[in-house]
Each structure stands twice: as structure tokens, then as C-alpha cells.
Structure 1
């Protein structure tokens, strides 16, 4: 095995479903500028101490075997933007399957680290064994290695399939990775891959967890109000969260109530990105068409949220004596929504990956300032105008005449837009004033959610229609009162 020494690995990682392997192989074999490098079977053993000392230092250690040759590799702290991974790595040929830490450069370790003691504690935590098909592809002025890996991650008795595509820069510019990936994504379904093989292995060995997802109240923005820098952070945060939510959706398919909440969070990410790109005129045909398609695929979420809320047996339904029966029916309806099927449907449509890669390209262009928002004001002024537009929209809703339930359910959409604007730009304003403002509107939104859930409950249990109508009437009065009070407060951005 060739000794590559140390370098910074720059690669774009994408996930692919197993049924699309052969179409990918055929496409890459026929792609102009592509040269097949054959297929190899790779064995990989990942090592750490019982206390996960390497993981705590953000390092990953493996020994890779191929055709009787072995190479030890250690990867140190790096970055992931979208699906683009950049991480220093050190590769050294060895004679066996056990890594020797002393062979790595001394400067990669903390000065106080006892390498000998670390060596004694090493043991194999998990393995990734896979078949790798490789191509070298000329894209622009760059040479890129495309690797299709298909195999298994194993930790003890636990196993997880592995199927992914990596676009690694051999020479040239990292800017050429995305155009090549986009060519492939136009032909067959791919999606961004955030979790590395090592991260998935640690989790399978129950030595790691998917990153917890706290509620995203606001995105910390850089000081100075530079529009380009702030938009870069917003887009990067939303893309990263989207990927994490995909991971959580896959891990929690057995919890249908949690699925509803996770799908809502994923839709929030999608709508946040769409809103920001719209307000700053950053859309192109790929994002415009992609968001329109994706929104149509997420139309089941409102139904799921109402059913999930009914599963909690809201207090008004308890008091009406129908709560438990409705909760039972709601749980059964949730089970029939086939969340796994919805996730697979997205992953099997090439438009999903095309949209994700278009957003990563946009992010890359923002970072390099090759794409500039069409605004001349600083961000506080721009965001203030956007939030003021949201405020005026609320005023219009409250003065409109129409059927109360439908009107309030439509108001929920306006409140969501205000929430997303707060997530994007709320960091620019005092937290206390911002929290006070949104707390009142959250109370309104909670009542609207209950209103929609009651309407859904009449479909589940028609015999309870009279009692549910009484509840909805009371909720309408409560929502109107809460809205009037909320509209009296001074907006936090003024």
C-alpha cells in the first residue's frame, strides 16, 4: 500500500441507496474524462481507548488492509460544510494489523499526552469492510477521485449497511468537486452525507450518539452586520441541521409521535432556507424548482402534527370525556402515515439531492464572495424591514373577515414566517425583548394547534362532533383575545 504521508483530505461525501450502485457505475464508466481505477476489497479496523481518549481529542484512528498490505491512518480535527469534508490526515505503512502511535509525527499530539500509555489502552471498537470502485475524473482543471463504497459497518453483534460515494480532490481546486457531483446527481438519486464512517461506527458500538437537537431559537450571527457573512452562517446552519434531522428521522422510525416533530423541524429548515433565498434574491432555477417540489412532498406533516398532538390527550379533550378514545384513534392513524416510506420517497428522487447540492454550491459561492446579495443596507436595517412586513401581515389577518377556524389556521402560516425570521435574524436584537414578544405569539400558536387538532378529531370520532365544536368555539374566542393582547406589545426590532 502506497505511503501518502500527511495531507489535508478534501472530499464531498454523498449517500446513495444500494439499488442505484450499478447505474452509477455505468454512468461513471461512460463519463467523458473518467478513467476507471478498478475495484478493491478494503478492511478497516478503528481503534480507541476504553475512555475514548482519541475521540475526545477529535481524532480518528484506523488500520486499513488491502491485498495483504496495511496502512495506519489518523485523522485530526477538521470541518464539515454541507457535505464537504476537510480534515488533516497522516498515513503510514505498517507490517501488521495493530497501529503504532509512535510512528505518527509528534506534533499532532497534545504536549502532555503520554503516547506509550495511550498505545497500551488501544483496542478495536468497530470495523468497516467494503468494496471500493474507483475512478479518476478530470473536472475543469482538477483531478478528482470518485469512490463508490459498498459494504458493512460492524461493532460486536451490531451491523449496519454502508453505501456511499466520495468525491476526493487529488489535485486542483475544491471548487470543482461540486460541479462533478451535480452532474452525477442529475442522473440518479444522491443526498448529502454528514456522518463519517467513523462516526457511524462509534454510534453502532454505542460509544457515540447522534448529536442532540435542541430547539433552534436563533442563529448566532457574526458581529458587524455584514450581510454576506451573516447569510453564510444562516445557510450553513440550516443545511447542517437538515442533515442531522435526516439522521434522527432514520434512527427514530419506531416513535411516530417523535417523527411528526422531527419532520416539522426538517420542514422548518427547508422553509428557512427558502425564505432567506427569496428575501435576498439568491434563488436560481435549481433552488426555485427544488423547493417547490420538496414542499409538495411534505404536505403530510400538518396532518401528522395534529394527530401527534391528539396522542398527548389535550386537557380540553380530557374534560370532554373523549380524550383517550381520540388518542387511540390518532395513534392508529399516525401509524398508517408510513414515515419510513416518506423518507425513502425523498431519497429515491434525484430532485432531492440536486436541491441539496445546489444549496451547498450557493453556500460555497457566498463563502468565496462570488455570490453577493442584492442589498445595499446593513443587515439590521434589512431584517427590520422584513420583520415589519411580518407585523403588518398580522394586522391584516386580524382585520380580515371570514370563517373563524379557517382564518386562524391561516394565521398559523404567518406566525411561522415570523418565527423563521426570528430564527434567522433574532440574534441581532436584545434577547429579553425578543423572548417576551415570541412568548405571547407562542401562546396564540398553541391554541391554533389545538384548534386544528380538534377539527381533525371530528374526522376520527364523528360521534364527538358536538362536544368538539363547543371546544373549537371556545378556542376561537381565546385566540382572538390572545391576538389582541399580543398586538398591543411593541415589536422587539423597533
Structure 2
């Protein structure tokens, strides 16, 4: 038995073999290169019994050698896969479960029944080029696989890089991974070939399927503040990778917005715990996050313009009062990044180095000592109260605000809602949900107000703008302000759930 420690990346480049070989030579790293064709058949019962155990069973053929492999339950954090693996050489094409150690099976498993129920469910066929690389005394095997997964008459392409620790220190994987991030267009592989094969077998090639992203961190009051921070950062990293995966599968503004929200969530968490993180490490994270967030600086305006110009949108009929305005908005919309450009950005060094450094920190956190130990509940209460005070200070404790004042508090409210997601699991969910609902009403109203503010700016730039459209816009803003003010007045009266 061995335990795999692997980093997986999905690649968009085509000439990976020559590029990576050149990269190793450039950095004067010693390596041995090889290549072979691999054919794999995966087995399970029709009831997915092995999948329920979180096991993966395959028979692999390479040249004249056949091997059966079972991977038992492991962990995946930020694209790093760690799973116990058992390999046995065989001569037939069907696995023999009795050849694996008897103690790997769950207590309830009947191995004889499982053997009788095994069926081939999907195949993977790919060409593998591998490099066994020495990095500071450690040995890393890098494998580049190019081929396809096949099931139920459907096919998914394989174009990925895997880094596996053969011997030595795990840090060596990160050294090579950083070189990859700076040299290729790629993204962490959250799903193994087996996981994608199962999805294809179940006809969910809805790898494009919508995966709900919840930012609430799974915390409990018994945790230390330090441990809670690490759990939160791991959760934020997983949310970011889910959002990126969705955006790469279907590059829609709603998906890219989830990427932005995940970045903001991680950024807020880092600032909530800045006193626990060494200054140099905090600055590194903060710089990478700012670069990633800045690369999406066009997103908010794009969403507003999209809302204004969609034929099915709330404003399109009113905008037809001014053909010049519609034309101007369409021209602006055409200047935003293309789907291809967005995908390239999400697979760029900026995004991948951020994820890689977060992953390394989650796996090996270095936390600064603090003078006074505080309970997690006390820490959360302090941070939540500080955020609420900041909003009230900006508002000047007024209960009637102007449109511009609401646009000013939007960022503070966004941060406060993320703080609530970091610590919300520590509190009774009924009162928390009611409290957040009132503030979300305010936040959603401000987002619509921002759309109307953009529309007003566009109208101001037109020499002979439609008076009818201006009258409608002024009335719309006044009515929306009344609604937001009502929501805001209700929100400030709700007792905070953490007090």
C-alpha cells in the first residue's frame, strides 16, 4: 500500500511536452523522461457500491503488463489529492477483489457479493509522458496525460498534468507547481479522471451542472481562533475553485461574479485574522488577491450594462426611448473581455499562484503567537460588531440616506455580509437568517441603484437625451430610494444575532 500525494491540473496548452521539458532544462533540474499508452477500465456495481465507499477500482493495461488498482477514501484540498492506493499485478481483464488486503473494506462490505456484481462502467485511454524530476533531494513524478474518458457513448477529453511525490518532502511538489503556474494556462483539477468518468456514466456530463456555492464556514465554538481561520481559508479556497470551474465550463457573468465574491470572501477573512498571520505572508496573500480582484474590475459595470441591454431585462423597453443610448451601451458591452479572454485570465499565473500559496498555507499554517488567548465566540462577536459599527458610522446614524450615500456604504455592507459568512455557523440559524435577510434587502436595492446610477451617467453624456427617459429614471430612483430606506430602517432595528 502507498499513499498518493498528488497535485492535478487541467491544461489548455497543446505543446505541453516540449514546453515542460524546456522548462526543466532551463532551471537545470535533473530528470528522466518516458512515455507510454495507458488503457484503463473502471469497475463498480450497478448500484455504485464502491462509489458509496469512496473507492475507485480499475484495471490498467500498459504494453504487456496488466494491473488492478483500488484507491480508498482520501482527502482533496485545493487540488491536492491524498489517497491510499493498492496495486496488484494480474493476468486477466477483470479485477479479483480477493487479491486486495482484507482490512481495507468497510465492516458491512460483502466482498464475494461485490465481486459477483462488478461491471465495467467507463474507460480512460490516454498517452502519458512522464518526467521523474529531482528537486532539492526529493523525487517528483510529473505525468502529462492526453486522451479521453468514454462512457455511455459519450466522451470527455483528457488534457492534464499530475505531480506526485515519489520520495522526499512535500514542499518539492509546490516548487514544481509554481513553475507550472508561471508557464502554462491551467487550473487545479478538483475532480479526478474517475470522478469525471462516474459523472459521464450517470449521464451528467453536466460537469457543467450548477454547483451551489455556500460561503458559510463550517465552524463550532470549541475551535481555537487559529484553527477556525485555517478552516475558513480552506473553505474559501474550495469556493473559489468551484466558482472558477463553473466559469470555465460556462463563462457567464453570474459565474464570474461568484469568482469575484469568493476572492472577496478570502480577502475579508485574511483581514479579520491579520494579527495571526506573519506580515510577509499576509502581504503576499494581499498582493495576489488584489491582482486577481483588479483583473475583474470590469465585472460590475458589465453586469449593470448587461441588465440594461438584455431584451428580457426590466429596463430595455424604457431605454428604447433613446436609440443613441442603446447603441452606446451596446458598444461599451462589446469592449468587455471575451469569453476566451476571461477563461485565459482564470487560468493565468495570477489566479493559480494565489490558489497554490493558499493551499500550502492551509496544509502547513504558520500562526503568530498572540498575547491574549480569546475564545472563537468572543473573536467573532468583536469582528461582527466592528463591521456593523463601521456601517453606522458611514451612515452617520441617519435613517434617510441619499442615493450617493447608499453607494458609499455598499462596500462596507458587502464586507459585513462576508464576515457573517465567516462566523455565522456559530449562531442560531433562525435569528441569523432573519437578520441577514433585512440587510440583504438593503444590499440588493443598492445593487439596482448602482445600475440606475450607471444609466444616469450614460444619459448625462448624451447631448440631447430623452426627457421622457430622464423623467422615468428620476421617478424610478426616487421610488427605489423609498424602498431601500424602508429596508434600511427595518435592518437597523433588528437585534444583532451575536449579542
Whether the TM-score (by the shorter chain) exceeds 0.5 is yes
For structure 2, the residue ranges without an aligned partner over 5 or more in a row are none
Question: 1:24, 1:188 within 8 Å by CA — same for their partners in 2?
Answer: no
Tell me whether 1:198 sits opposite 2:197 in the alignment: no
Of residues 377, 389, 392, the one that matches 1:392 is: 389
CA distance in 1: counterparts of 2:311 and 2:101, whole angstroms: 56
Question: 2:215, 2:239 within 8 Å by CA — same for their partners in 1?
Answer: no
Indicate how the Cα distance of structure 1 residues 342 and 425 shifts in structure 2: closer, same or farther if over 3 A, else same. Answer: farther
Match of 1:371 in 2: 367
Displacement of 1:216: 2.0
Question: 1:29, 1:36 within 8 Å by CA — same for their partners in 2?
Answer: no
Match of 2:378 in 1: 381
Displacement of 1:236: 0.8
Displacement of 1:133: 1.9
Q: Over aligned residues, Cα RMSD in angstroms?
A: 3.4
Displacement of 1:108: 2.3
Displacement of 1:74: 1.0
Displacement of 1:308: 5.9
CA distance in 2: counterparts of 1:77 and 1:330, whole angstroms: 52
CA distance in 2: counterparts of 1:275 and 1:26, whole angstroms: 39
CA distance in 2: counterparts of 1:375 and 1:362, whole angstroms: 22
Summarize the alignment of residues 131-150 of structure 1 with structure 2, pairs less than 5 Å apart: 131-150=127-146
Displacement of 1:39: 1.5
Summarize the alignment of residues 207-356 of structure 1 with structure 2, pairs less than 5 Å apart: 207=203, 213-216=211-214, 218-253=216-251, 259-281=252-274, 282=277, 283-306=281-304, 340-356=339-355
CA distance in 2: counterparts of 1:332 and 1:199, whole angstroms: 42
Match of 2:360 in 1: 361
Which string of whole-angstrom CA distances, capped at 9 and with x for unpartnered residues, describes residues 362-421 of structure 1? 11222xxx3347574333333323222211221133239999333322322211101100
Match of 1:436, SS state, is: helix
Tell me whether 1:410 sits opposite 2:415 in the alignment: no
Match of 1:18, SS state, is: coil
CA distance in 1: counterparts of 2:420 and 2:26, whole angstroms: 48
Tell me whether 1:178 sits opposite 2:174 in the alignment: yes
* Pairs aligned (count): 479
CA distance in 1: counterparts of 2:203 and 2:170, whole angstroms: 33
Match of 1:488 in 2: 493
Match of 1:221, SS state, is: coil
Indicate how the Cα distance of structure 1 residues 217 and 80 shifts in structure 2: closer, same or farther if over 3 A, else same. Answer: closer
Match of 1:239, SS state, is: helix
CA distance in 2: counterparts of 1:28 and 1:72, whole angstroms: 32
Displacement of 1:319: 11
Displacement of 1:54: 1.7
Tell me whether 1:17 sits opposite 2:12 in the alignment: yes
Question: 2:215, 2:236 within 8 Å by CA — same for their partners in 1?
Answer: no
Question: 1:225, 1:380 within 8 Å by CA — same for their partners in 2?
Answer: no
CA distance in 2: counterparts of 1:312 and 1:479, whole angstroms: 26
Of residues 104, 108, 125, the one that matches 1:129 is: 125
Match of 1:414, SS state, is: helix
CA distance in 1: counterparts of 2:311 and 2:233, whole angstroms: 34
Between stretches 393-402 and 72-81, larger displacement belongs to 393-402
Q: TM-score, normalised by structure 2?
A: 0.85
Match of 1:492, SS state, is: coil
Displacement of 1:331: 11
Match of 1:493, SS state, is: coil
Indicate how the Cα distance of structure 1 residues 332 and 440 shifts in structure 2: closer, same or farther if over 3 A, else same. Answer: farther
Match of 1:81 in 2: 77
Which string of whole-angstrom CA distances, capped at 9 and with x for unpartnered residues, describes residues 59-110 of structure 1? 1111111112111111111101111111111111111332222322222233
Question: 1:222, 1:229 within 8 Å by CA — same for their partners in 2?
Answer: no
Match of 1:256 in 2: none
Q: TM-score, normalised by structure 1?
A: 0.86
Match of 1:161, SS state, is: strand
Of residues 453, 473, 477, the one that matches 2:478 is: 473
For structure 1, the residue ranges without an aligned partner over 5 or more in a row are 1-5, 254-258
Displacement of 1:28: 2.3
Displacement of 1:7: 1.5
Match of 2:364, SS state, is: helix
Question: 1:455, 1:468 within 8 Å by CA — same for their partners in 2?
Answer: no
Indicate how the Cα distance of structure 1 residues 44 and 334 shifts in structure 2: closer, same or farther if over 3 A, else same. Answer: farther
Tell me whether 1:100 sits opposite 2:96 in the alignment: yes
Which string of whole-angstrom CA distances, capped at 9 and with x for unpartnered residues, describes residues 138-171 of structure 1? 3344322122222222224322222222121112
Between stretches 66-75 and 216-225, larger displacement belongs to 216-225
Between stretches 65-74 and 104-113, larger displacement belongs to 104-113
